[in-house]
């Protein structure tokens, strides 16, 4: 089987940095696209020149997606086989609840919609990094945005939609206050039960594996489940499954 193409959105984020490196190093992909509000400085990526040569980078304006002549829309629409999305933000970084939702949900869905192939017979997979506790019915901003995004992606009609809901991310350059506090607690609990945290490099490997094998090819350790929602369905992988899949 010939190598496939992969698109990654959010490659400059905490997990996205790991995932970009893993994707370009993978023999499963012969062409990789990195699109975003900014793109990665390749001098900072630990990969061979051959691996880096697979990469096509493009700075895009998410607000212009779908407008005539937009270069970002054109790049998104190049018929990528697997679309990886690790794009997200925080309310503090965005500046307001409205700005947060625009980046965290609107940009994600618009980009995924533009990347959906119109070529008959072209099978596409989308893999989205959500968050533990995501729920469209949550009264809280962050989990509700993630849950609504999951449902919106399920409605786009990709042949395979996979969603990851990891726990607390270990290894951030600048951990959020809540994660620093919770990290102490969950670190202690991990000695008594399965960890509620996950290392970002492990999560990255899990996301890559899911993107390569798809829902039907996931091993039992992923503990994947089918989630039905008003807009369709998706395959869900939680924190424990993510960790075991990433270490498998």
- Which residue of the set 25, 146, 170, 209 is catalytic? 146
Say whether 31 sits in a helix, a strand or coil: strand
Neighbouring residues of 2: CB distance < 8 A, sequence distance ≥ 6: 30
Q: Which helix (H) or strand (E) holds 143?
A: helix 141-154
Classify residue 43 as exposed, middle or buried by CB count within 10 Å of its CB (0-12, 13-18, 19+): exposed
What six digits make up the tokens of 134? Answer: 């995501």
Examine the residue annotation and report whether 128 is marked as an active-site residue of this protein. no
Contact 207, 84 (CB under 8 A): yes
- Which residue of the set 4, 54, 107, 142 is catalytic? 142
Examine the residue annotation and report whether 107 is marked as an active-site residue of this protein. no
What six digits make up the tokens of 235? Answer: 């395959």
The tally of CA atoms less than 13 A away on the side-chain side of residue 74 is 7
Q: Which residues are catalytic?
A: 142, 146
């Amino acid at each position: 089987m010939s190598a496939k193409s992969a698109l990654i959105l959010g490659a400059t984020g905490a997990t996205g940095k790991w995932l970009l490196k893993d994707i370009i190093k993978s023999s499963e992909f012969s062409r990789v696209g990195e699109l975003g509000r900014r793109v990665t400085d390749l001098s900072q990526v630990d990969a061979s020149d051959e691996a880096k040569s697979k990469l096509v980078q493009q700075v895009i304006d998410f607000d212009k997606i779908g407008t005539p002549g937009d270069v970002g829309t054109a790049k998104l629409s190049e018929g990528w086989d697997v679309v990886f999305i690790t794009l997200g933000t925080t309310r503090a970084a965005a500046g307001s609840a409205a700005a947060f939702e625009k980046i965290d949900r609107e940009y994600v869905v618009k980009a995924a919609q533009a990347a959906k192939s119109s070529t008959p017979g072209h099978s596409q997979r989308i893999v989205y990094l959500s968050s533990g506790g995501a729920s469209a019915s949550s009264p809280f901003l962050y989990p509700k945005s993630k849950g609504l995004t999951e449902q919106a992606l399920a409605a786009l009609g990709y042949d395979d939609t996979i969603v990851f809901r990891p726990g607390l991310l270990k290894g951030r350059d600048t951990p959020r206050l809540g994660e620093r506090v919770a990290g102490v607690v969950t670190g202690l609990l991990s000695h008594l039960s399965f960890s509620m945290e996950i290392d970002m490099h492990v999560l990255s490997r899990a996301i890559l594996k899911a993107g390569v094998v798809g829902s039907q090819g996931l091993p039992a350790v992923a503990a994947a489940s089918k989630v039905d929602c008003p807009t369709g369905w998706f395959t869900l992988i939680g924190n424990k499954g993510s960790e075991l899949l990433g270490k498998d």
